[in-house]
C-alpha cells in the first residue's frame, strides 16, 4: 500500500514526473511541437508578462 499519494502537498511530484504527466494529459490534443511550446511558456510564467502567448497555444 502507498502511505501517501504522489502529487499532494505532502508528497509533491518531481519536475520530471510533473512534465511526464503534462505530456500524458496533453498528448491527445497537442502534437509534440505544441507541447514543447506550451511547456516553455509555462516554465517561464513568472517572467512572461503577456498571457496572449499562452492563450494563443490553447
Return d(Cα 12, Cα 15) in angstroms, integer.
9
- In tens, the pLDDT along 2-52 reads 677 888 888 999 999 999 999 999 999 999 999 999 898 888 877 766 677
For residues 38 and 30, the answer to whether their CB atoms sit within 8 Å is yes
Please give the pLDDT value at position 45.
Answer: 77
The answer to whether the predicted template modeling score (pTM) of the entire model surpasses 0.95 is no
Return d(Cα 10, Cα 50) in angstroms, integer.
32
Please give the pLDDT value at position 32.
Answer: 95
Please give the pLDDT value at position 48.
Answer: 62
Sequence spans of domains, the chain:
15-57
The CA-CA-CA angle for residues 19, 8, 10, to 5°, reads 120
Return d(Cα 56, Cα 15) in angstroms, integer.
25
Amino acid at each position: 500500500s502507498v502511505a501517501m499519494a504522489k502529487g499532494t502537498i505532502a508528497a509533491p511530484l518531481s519536475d520530471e514526473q510533473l512534465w511526464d504527466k503534462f505530456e500524458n494529459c496533453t498528448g491527445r490534443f497537442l502534437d509534440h511541437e505544441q507541447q514543447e511550446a506550451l511547456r516553455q511558456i509555462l516554465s517561464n510564467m513568472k517572467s512572461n508578462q503577456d498571457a496572449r502567448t499562452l492563450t494563443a497555444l490553447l
